[in-house]
Chain A
Amino acid sequence: MISRTTLGARVRRCLTVTLLGTAVLAVSAGLATPASAQPRPLPDNPNRVVSIDDELLEPRASTAGAPLRFATRIGRANDTPDSQTWAQRRGRLGGTFALVHTPSIAAAGVQLCADVEGDSREAGARLVLRPCDGTDSQLWRPLGGGSGPRFLQNVQSELNMERVPGGVVQNDFAPREEPERSNNQLFSVSPKSFGIGGA
């Protein structure tokens, strides 16, 4: 029998993880079906946030070429601004998705996606905003078991998204001696409405 107090604490402690985890599960289940050849693309999962700790993925500017970074979440849940949200768009390959920056969709101009600078396959290459072109360097595959945060592997380079000071790069899996680096490769992709943090 778990006491009421213990239970309450445990729920509070796990609530964030569970909510994010459930979202990731739901999202990856939806993406697991291979894309079939059809002229009309399937609808996006709009208004997603890519989070790690209390930070969200955002570009330094809403323009092509702008480097990506993780920054403190602005606002809570549905108040999160478009500049910190992305549409998850099914990729050409099953189980993969592109991240389309929300302001570029709203502007009805050229849509901008999270991409690897110069389409590099090298570890350490930075991530930038580029016009969505439907290519593998703009596709991400969630890796990792369980319901927690996932590695986000770039489909072309097979390197993982990693938070580094001042920016975001692609990098290989961290060896066991570098758990801190590994932790900087684990992200949740979830509806912004599930967010709890915020400044």
Chain B
Amino acid sequence: MRRDTRAGAAAALLVLALGTGCGQGSATPPVPLPAVETAAPTAEPLSRPGPVQLALARTALGETLTSDGRTLYRFEADSADPPRSICENDCLEVWPPVLSDGSPVSLDGAIDRSLVGTIQRSDGTTQVTLGGWPLYWFVDDKTPGDVTGEGVGGNWSAVGDDGKPLVRK
């Protein structure tokens, strides 16, 4: 019985081996996969310094921190103490930072003002933080309530009114 199973498996492998044309050279010509979307080049910065308002909105994840009606995220690879952003280069195209023009951040809803702060980015701009965590939008969120950035790459978290992740990682 056991012998039969092994023989069957061997036969299956044999069929695979013969059927895959493995005698060919390994350098196969490049054939691009069809229908792959490409990211549109960004003509202008996705976020620019301005007055910032933080608010709370009900999403599928619960009471979620937002600004301009869009969900805000934190990057777990950043740090809160001291507040620091390591999101640079192409990271900023996908995760536009919430940039302040220096005017006081206005708050809509039950957000503790003592948790709100800012950091100076390496390009000189000022990014708003909550609980020390620099805040970002996600480029794929299109409408209020979207939380498509949650968990992207494993290190991005939608946050609540205290700046903590809504989904435990």
Interfacial residues of chain A within 39-74, with CB under 8 A of chain B in the complex = 39-41, 64
With A148-B26, A149-B26, A173-B30: A141-B152 Cβ-Cβ less than 8 Å: no
Contact A111 B30 (CB under 8 A): no
Contact in complex: A108, B148 (CB < 8 Å): no
Interface centre among B30, B60, B75, B76 (most CB of A within 10 A): B30
- Within 8 Å of chain A (Cβ to Cβ): is B115? no
Identify the closest chain A residue to B34 (Cβ).
A95
Stretch of A9-17, A75-83, A162-170, A189-197 contacting B (4+ beta carbons < 8 Å):
A9-17
Complex Cα spacing A189 to B54, Å = 44
Taking A94-B35, A100-B154 as contacts, is the C-beta distance between A135 and B93 under 8 angstroms? yes
Spell out A's residues near B (CB within 8 Å): 7, 10-11, 13-15, 17-18, 21-22, 32, 34, 37-41, 64, 89, 92-96, 98, 100, 105, 108, 110-111, 113, 118-119, 131-138, 141-151, 156, 173, 179, 182-183, 186
The reply to whether the CB of B28 lies closer than 8 angstroms to some CB of chain A is yes
Identify the B interface with A (CB < 8 A): 13-14, 16-18, 20-24, 26-33, 35-39, 60-61, 75-77, 86-91, 93-95, 140, 146-156, 169
B138 to chain A, nearest CB (A): 9
The residue on A at minimum CB distance from B153 is: A134
Cα-based distance from A136 to B39 in the complex (angstroms) = 9
Beyond A95-B33, A141-B33, whether A11 also contacts B154 by CB under 8 A is no
Contact with A18, one of B22, B27, B152 (Cβ below 8 angstroms): B22
Please indicate the chain A residues that have their CB under 8 angstroms from the CB of B38 in the complex: 93
Contact B169 A110 (CB under 8 A): no
Question: With A11-B13, A14-B22 given, is the CB distance from A41 to B90 under 8 Å?
Answer: no
> In angstroms, how far is the closest chain A Cβ from the Cβ of B159?
14
Q: Is the CB of B27 within 8 A of A186?
A: yes
Given A11-B13, A39-B148, A96-B36, A135:B31 Cβ within 8 A? no
How many angstroms from the CA of A167 to the CA of B149 in the assembled complex?
A: 32
Out of B22, B91, B148, B154, name the residue touching A89 (CB < 8 Å): B154
CB pairs A–B below 8 angstroms (29 shown): A11-B14, A11-B17, A14-B23, A22-B16, A32-B33, A34-B35, A37-B146, A37-B148, A39-B151, A41-B150, A92-B94, A93-B39, A95-B36, A111-B154, A119-B88, A131-B77, A132-B153, A132-B154, A133-B155, A134-B155, A134-B156, A135-B93, A136-B39, A143-B30, A146-B20, A147-B20, A147-B21, A147-B22, A148-B22
